[in-house]
A and B are shown apart, each in its own frame.
Chain A
Amino acid sequence: MTTATQVDAAVGVFTGEDVAAGRWSEAFKRLRRNPAAILGAVLVLLFVLVAVFAPLLAPHDPNDQLLLGEVRPGFIPGPREGFPLGADALGRDELSRVLYGSRQSLLVGVVSTLVGLVIGLLLGGMAGAFGGRVDNVLMRVTDLMLSVPGLLTAITISVILGQSLTSVMIAIAIVNVPIFARLLRGSMLAQRESDYVLAARSIGLRRRTIVLSHVVPNSLGPVIVQATLTLATSIIDAAALSFLGLGNPDDTRPEWGQMLSDAQNLLGTRAALAFYPCIAIVLAALGFTLLGEALREALDPKFRR
């Protein structure tokens, strides 16, 4: 849910002419010294590892209704030997479902961020490189998209596409497009005014060479930062969409937002069922946010305070 002004404000970041290679290694050194960055990286790594190795880590099949016999109205079996987080309302092992849930979240987060990033960068790059009418039309379109709150856009899109994980991914990807488009464009415009682009032009380099080998690489810093932060918001938005009942209707593939939505009527019976998926969402999102913020600080000393 980033708007035009926010994106533009985030841009005024790299106008510098510093040598790209030096900046990245400097940034990495700063990153290693930042405890927040390390915590973020650990959380992200943990999240990815859990998602990849869920079948090995989960104690049970997430769809086996092992404890169904004990579920009664007003009672759901709690933690016990072999079931550290207890069971859900259908007697399935909660821990296994939370672990498996990371797969859907990671998938939605990565796919919707990447798709949004690629399309956004193409559009933003076109706007930045061609300027003029192309720029004008593209920017009016992004204005329009950013004029509606992101979650609402995502809701309307997934309503058309129907209930499925794919439609959630497409909806969030579309919400992400204008953010990246404006970011790259703003960043490129700032570069265009810089001395080294003038220098490159004066020694007679072709426009394509200047754009591809000077302007774009130097504009990538804020894009990478934004992508990391967008991973976090995409995971949260995906959970929100499933929570509202727009996600995959089939619950054999556990999904955190859906687990939360199922658990909301059971607060009186077993509130923990709502908290496990919530905590998982928070940890995953926190990991990407910490990493993204630390990256921003590392790449731009202006933000270090």
Chain B
Amino acid sequence: MLRFVVRRLLQLIPILFGLSILLFAWLRLLPGGPASALLGERSTPERVAAINHAYGLDQPVWVQYWRYLQRLVRLDFGQSIQNGRPVTEVITDQFPGTIELTMAALIFAVGVGVPLGYFAARRQGSAWDTVSVMGSLLGVTIPVFFLAFLLKYVFAVQLGWLPPSGRQDVRIDATHITNFYVLDGLLTRELDASWDAMQHLILPAIALGTIPLAIIVRITRASVLDVVNEDYVRTAEAKGLSTAVIRRRHVLRNAMLPVVTTIGLQLGLLLSGAILTETVFAFPGIGQATTGAIFNKDYALLQGIILMIAVLYVVINLVVDILYGVLDPRVRVR
């Protein structure tokens, strides 16, 4: 097992290395060159020269790349041109919101999707099965921003059941320690703040979680159908094991393998979907920071965000791979 984990960790190195080269190239390709791109509208010839010197842009390319790598390792992405704050600070401020939203969406997708898929498979051919298959097909095609608009319009604008935007009501004087608002509320015992943050999460999480939900329903259904026809399930039934034991130990454990992979893959979709969902719900997270950065040509911030998401995505895939190895020992040997 340890060898498997180490091997997967080593495979991470070329990917991260490749990413750093791509990002370095990207910065150089930006309209007007990196210095004026980083300075934005404040760019004057003197400032460009100063930046060029400070970042060593007057040096040969490989020296520049080496320095760039050194800065990356120190997590120094420069300053946001929007307010002069260090990019790292902006990211640590905004990321917890996105992580909260992504987790909520994932809980919704898995919590609803796996049981739905399981029961659709067990009642194969029933009306219930047909509805969930059709529903999951439609769910895959609906763009996340459409669903976001629809939910916001119906439940927030028209019915007024849930808040239409933001992460927390500004009138609540909440203490923020970790910037995970739900957690903060629980830690400081400001339960109303926590509850308010949860209410703000419901609509965006459903919007964001629906596509993964649809995919999880389909994969669970197909995978359970594969497993229930296996000989070992028939054997278990024949020896008179209870349905609950068969379901847990024989069917679900084996059927969950493809589902785990799918969930891992969905996280990438969730991260990019978050960019769109946050825009619709004016939800302060990394997605909103991204749109702000695009709109204001804040390339320093954009660069930091891209690297953060890419690294996160690569790490998540690694974790999924390792988890897969835990669930299915056969994978480790390959």
Contact = CB atoms under 8 A, between A and B. Distances in A.
A152 B290 CA distance: 10
A59 interface: no
Contacts of B222: 305
B26 A160 contact: yes
A147 B317 contact: yes
B252 interface: no
Contacts of A6: 265
Contacts of B146: 278-279, 281-282
A144 B265 contact: no
Contacts of A271: 149, 153, 157
A196 interface: no
Contact of A162 (B31, B149, B271, B280): B31
B309 A149 contact: yes
Contacts of A244: 275-276, 279, 290-291, 294
Nearest to A279: B146
A292 to B, nearest CB: 10
B18 interface: yes
Interface string B1-44: 00000000000001100110010001001110000000000000
A143 interface: yes
Contact of B149 (A147, A275, A293): A275
B322 to A, nearest CB: 14
Interface residues of A, number: 45
B323 interface: no
Contact of A3 (B29, B268, B295): B268
Given A240-B145, A245-B291, A160 B30 contact: yes
Contacts of B157: 267-268, 271
Interface in B127-165: 137-138, 140-143, 145-146, 149-150, 152-153, 157
Query: Which of the listed residues A3, A148, A239, A245 has the most CB atoms from chain B within 10 Å of its own CB?
Result: A148
B317 A3 contact: yes
Interface string A139-161: 01001100111111001100110
B153 A267 contact: yes
Contacts of B314: 147
Given A144-B18, A148-B313, A149-B268, A285 B143 contact: yes
Contacts, number: 123
A205 B280 CA distance: 59
B15 A278 contact: no
A246 B294 contact: yes
B269 interface: yes
B294 A147 contact: no
Interface residues of B, number: 49
Given A244-B276, A271-B157, A293-B137, A149 B269 contact: yes
Contacts of A274: 149, 153
B291 A264 contact: no
Interface string B282-300: 0000000011001100010
A149 B310 CA distance: 7
Nearest to B29: A160
Nearest to B268: A149
Contacts of B152: 267
B310 A152 contact: yes
A150 B309 CA distance: 12
A303 B127 CA distance: 20
A260 interface: yes
A275 B302 CA distance: 30
B290 A155 contact: yes
Interface in B165-182: none
B143 A281 contact: yes
Contacts of A267: 149, 152-153, 157
A260 B153 CA distance: 14
A12 to B, nearest CB: 12
A110 to B, nearest CB: 18
Contact of A144 (B22, B271, B294): B22
Contacts of B31: 160, 162
B143 A239 contact: yes
28 contacts: A1-B272, A3-B265, A5-B261, A36-B137, A140-B14, A147-B15, A147-B317, A148-B306, A152-B309, A152-B310, A155-B275, A156-B302, A156-B306, A160-B30, A160-B31, A236-B143, A240-B276, A243-B145, A243-B279, A244-B291, A245-B295, A264-B149, A267-B157, A271-B157, A278-B145, A282-B142, A289-B140, A293-B137
Given A149-B313, A159-B299, A282-B146, 19 more contacts: A5-B265, A9-B258, A147-B310, A148-B306, A148-B309, A149-B269, A155-B275, A159-B302, A160-B30, A236-B143, A239-B143, A244-B290, A245-B295, A264-B279, A264-B280, A267-B153, A278-B149, A282-B142, A289-B137
Q: Which 9 A-B pairs have the closest CB atoms?
A: A151-B272, A278-B146, A149-B272, A149-B268, A144-B18, A286-B141, A148-B310, A285-B141, A236-B143
